A and B are shown apart, each in its own frame.
Chain A
Amino acid sequence: MTNTDKVESKSNKILAKTFKEIVIEKNALSIPIKNKDEKWHELSNKATNERLGFVETTSAVGRFDKFDFMVLFNPDKSINKVSVLIYREDHGGEIVSPRWLRQFEGKTIKDVSNISRDINGISGATMSCNAITKGIKQSLITIQKVK
Chain B
Amino acid sequence: MTKTSLLFTLLFSLTTYSYSQIGLGDTMVNSADRLILSDSRITLGGYGEIDFNNPLRTSNGDKRNGSFDVHRMVFLTGYKFNDRLSFVTELEIEHIKEVYIEQAFIDYRLNDYIHFRAGLMLIPMGIVNEYHEPVTFNGVERPNLDKYIIPTTWREIGAGFSGTIPEVGLRYQAYIVNGLSSYDNEAALSGKNGLRSGRQKGAQTTFSHPNGTFRLEYFGLNNLKIGFSGYFGKTQSTLYDNVGEIENYNVASADSSVVGMSMFLADARYKKNGFEARAQYVFGNIANSTQYNNMFGNDVASAIQGYYVEAGYDLLRVFPKKFEKRLVAFFRYENYNTHHKVASELTKNDSYNRTDFTTGLTFHLDKGVALKADFQQFRNAKLGSSINNQVNFGVGVWF
Contact = CB atoms under 8 A, between A and B. Distances in A.
A137 B27 contact: yes
A122 B6 CA distance: 34
B345 interface: no
Given A90-B162, A96-B166, A34 B223 contact: no
Interface stretch (A16-24, A46-54, A109-117): A109-117
A30 interface: no
B171 A138 contact: no
B166 A120 contact: no
Interface stretch (B35-43, B59-67, B174-182): B35-43
B216 to A, nearest CB: 13
B28 A34 contact: yes
A88 B322 contact: no
Contacts of B164: 87, 90, 93-94, 96
A61 B37 contact: yes
Given A64-B78, A124-B131, A90 B35 contact: no
A105 interface: no
Given A123-B271, A141-B27, A90 B217 contact: no
Given A90-B162, A124-B217, A61 B169 contact: no
A120 B273 contact: yes
A124 B166 contact: no
A99 B222 contact: yes
Interface string B184-226: 0000000000000000000000000000000001011011010
Contacts, number: 112
Interface stretch (B109-117, B238-246, B331-339, B352-360): B109-117
A106 interface: no
A138 B27 contact: yes
A121 interface: yes
Contacts of A3: 83
B217 A117 contact: no
Contacts of B28: 34, 138
A124 B225 contact: yes
B367 A130 contact: yes
Given A61-B37, A90-B164, A117 B169 contact: no
B166 A93 contact: yes
B109 A88 contact: yes
Contacts of A89: 86, 107, 109
Given A66-B38, A89-B107, A94-B171, A116 B324 contact: yes
B269 A123 contact: yes
Given A61-B37, A120-B222, A124-B130, A138 B107 contact: no
B272 interface: yes
Interface string B372-383: 000000000000
Which range contains the number of B residues in contact with the other chain?
35 or more
Contacts of B55: none
B71 interface: no
A88 B84 CA distance: 7
Interface in B80-136: 80, 83-84, 86, 88, 107, 109, 112, 115, 117, 127, 130-131, 133, 136
Nearest to B323: A117
Nearest to B133: A126
A59 B39 CA distance: 10
Given A34-B28, A116-B324, A90 B163 contact: yes
Contacts of A130: 367
B31 interface: yes
Contacts of A75: none
A90 B107 contact: yes
B34 interface: yes
B309 to A, nearest CB: 15
Interface of A: 3, 34-37, 59-61, 63-66, 87-90, 93-94, 96-100, 113-114, 116-117, 120-124, 126, 130-131, 134-135, 137-138, 141
Interface of B: 27-28, 30-31, 34-35, 37-39, 43, 45, 78, 80, 83-84, 86, 88, 107, 109, 112, 115, 117, 127, 130-131, 133, 136, 162-164, 166, 169, 171, 217, 219-220, 222-223, 225, 269, 271-273, 278, 322-324, 367
Given A116-B367, A123-B278, 7 more contacts: A64-B80, A89-B107, A96-B164, A100-B219, A122-B225, A123-B225, A138-B27
